[in-house]
Amino acid sequence: MTSVAALQKMDRRLLEAFSRRTVQKLRVIAPLRVVLPHLESFLEKNLSKEILKDALVIRHAYDSPTVENVSQLLFLKTKEIDLEFLKKIEGFLVRVNIPFEQIAPFRTRRINLLLHFSDQIFRKWESGVKIRNAFSKKEFENELNEIFVLYIKETAMLSRAIQLPFFLVPMRDWFSQELQNTMQEIALQLVREVSTAVYRRP
């Protein structure tokens, strides 16, 4: 497996675990049992597009991380993925108008962080250095946590832009806040677990 494929796989597994645990946590909140059946297939497709976007950034980090205006270029490419996603959810009970102007600062910052972090990892791997020897545990956790924080902020904005069936509209703002709180809790757990696994000595 190439280093690009390896890092993309690690990222995919992390996002899948993050999404799965978030949905599992939301299922135990009684009022959300009404909303989730309308949202789970939407969230599943949303996860797929987020994996595609991260894979794009990771590939770019390996191929050409220092291209001029790289974050803007990648933002436009991720926007294309979003627009394809919107086509795929046509006919769903859930609708969303993605507020690109609002999310741009958060997504661009996240792209830059993931790009830089991936580039650092690739450079260390090429030198035969493992991740746990390339960063201190605190540095590693801080990088992952900041990427998650920006992802959660963007998702919170998207959740407030969701157009639910009329009988669920009164729950939208409440759901958005519960989703954000749950994602923050799960992200902290995952960062700790991944960090423990990476820095565990054989």
pLDDT attached to residue 64: 81
Average pLDDT taken over every residue of the chain: 86
CA–CA gap between residue 156 and residue 181 (Å, rounded):
10
Cβ atoms 12, 48 nearer than 8 A: no
| CB-based contacts of 167, cutoff 8 Å, min separation 6 | none
Does 173 score more than 90 pLDDT? no
Range in 39-48, 82-91, 123-132 the model is least confident about:
39-48
pLDDT attached to residue 146: 96
Cβ atoms 55, 8 nearer than 8 A: yes
Total domains in the fold of the chain: 1
Structural element, H or E, at residue 162: strand 162-163
**Token pair of 41, please?**
């297939």
Domain extent, residue 93, equals 3-198
- Tell me the C-alpha to C-alpha distance, in Å, between residue 114 and each of 1, 76, 121: 21, 16, 10
pLDDT attached to residue 163: 65
* Distance from the first to the final alpha carbon of the chain: 22
Would you tell me how many other CB atoms lie within 10 Å of the CB of residue 167?
8
Cβ atoms 114, 57 nearer than 8 A: yes
- At 85, is the pLDDT very low, low, confident or very high (cuts 50, 70, 90)? confident
Would you tell me how many other CB atoms lie within 10 Å of the CB of residue 197?
9
